[in-house]
C-alpha cells in the first residue's frame, strides 16, 4: 500500500491502544508465531496519544536482535540483511518516543525496498473534526486528490466525506498479488522482516509491487 502512494500520513495524534500492533509485531517462532515487543511507559497514560508514548528503556533492541538471530540465522537472506539490521535497530534504541522508532525502522525498510514516499505526521495538522472526517481533512490539507485504503475499510469508510472535498478513494486489490510462496501463505500476519529474512530483498520487492484501483499512484492536485 505504501508503494502505491506519494505521501504516507502517520495517524499518530489518536489515542494509543494497549496490547495492539503499536509497539509489537510477530516473527516466526519454533512452533508458532512469537511477539517482538518494545516496552513502553503507559502507567497512568490512559488517554495518551500515540506520539506521546515513550519507550521504557534503550536496550530493547538487543533482545529483538537476539530473537531474530535465533529464528532466522539459518537463512542466507537474513545473514545479508543482518549487516544493516543490527546497526539500524541500535539507532532505533536511542530514540525516546515509540513513533520515532517506528518511523526510523520504516524509513530503513523503505530505502532497501526502493519505496520513495513523503512521510508526514497527523500531529502537524491540527483539526477539530471527528474521526470520520479527519482522514478526508488530512488528505485535503496535504494537497492530495486520492486516499488509498485497504479493502477491509470498505465496510465503514464514508466515501461521501471525501467526495465533498473533491477527493477520490482508491482500494488496494490484494487479489492482484502474484502467487505467494508457501512460506508467506502460511504466515501472513508476520512482520515484513520474515519475508526479507527468508526470501530476500528482490523477492520482497516483487511481491510488494502489484496493481491497485488507481495504478498504484496517488497524485497531487
Q: For position 213, what pLDDT does the model report?
A: 45
- Residue 128: the pLDDT is 67
**φ and ψ of 186, to 5 deg:** -80, -10
pLDDT in tens, 2-34: 998 999 999 999 999 998 999 999 999 888 899
Instruction: Measure Cα distances from 211 to 24, 217, 221 in Å.
Output: 29, 9, 22
Band of residue 182 on the pLDDT scale cut at 50, 70, 90: confident
Closest CA to 19 of 33, 39, 49: 39
Please compute Rg for the chain using Cα positions: 18
- Interval 93-143: pLDDT, tens: 999 999 999 999 999 999 999 999 999 999 999 876 777 789 999 999 999
**Residue 55: enclosing H or E segment and its boundaries?**
strand 54-55
Structural contact between residues 105 and 113, judged by C-beta atoms closer than 8 angstroms: no
Amino acid at each position: 500500500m505504501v508503494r502505491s502512494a506519494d505521501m504516507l500520513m502517520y495517524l499518530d495524534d489518536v489515542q494509543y491502544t494497549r496490547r495492539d500492533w503499536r509497539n509489537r509485531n510477530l516473527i516466526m517462532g519454533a512452533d508458532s508465531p512469537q511477539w517482538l515487543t518494545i516496552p513502553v511507559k503507559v502507567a497512568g497514560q490512559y488517554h495518551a496519544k500515540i506520539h506521546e508514548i515513550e519507550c521504557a528503556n534503550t536496550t530493547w533492541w538487543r533482545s529483538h536482535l537476539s530473537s531474530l538471530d535465533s529464528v532466522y540465522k539459518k537463512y542466507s537472506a537474513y545473514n545479508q540483511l543482518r549487516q544493516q539490521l543490527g546497526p539500524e535497530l541500535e539507532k532505533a534504541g536511542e530514540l525516546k518516543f515509540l513513533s520515532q522508532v517506528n518511523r526510523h525502522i520504516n524509513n530503513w525498510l523503505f530505502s532497501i525496498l526502493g519505496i520513495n514516499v513523503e512521510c508526514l505526521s497527523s500531529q502537524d495538522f491540527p483539526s477539530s473534526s471527528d474521526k470520520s472526517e479527519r482522514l478526508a481533512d488530512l488528505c485535503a490539507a496535504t494537497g492530495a486528490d486520492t486516499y488509498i485504503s485497504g479493502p477491509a475499510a470498505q465496510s465503514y469508510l464514508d466515501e461521501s466525506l471525501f467526495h465533498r472535498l473533491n477527493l477520490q478513494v482508491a482500494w488496494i486489490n490484494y487479489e492482484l498479488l502474484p502467487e505467494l510462496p508457501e512460506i508467506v501463505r502460511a504466515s501472513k500476519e508476520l512482520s515484513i522482516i520474515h519475508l526479507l529474512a527468508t526470501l530476500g530483498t528482490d523477492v520482497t520487492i516483487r511481491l510488494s509491487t502489484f496493481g491497485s484501483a488507481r495504478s498504484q499512484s496517488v497524485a497531487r492536485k
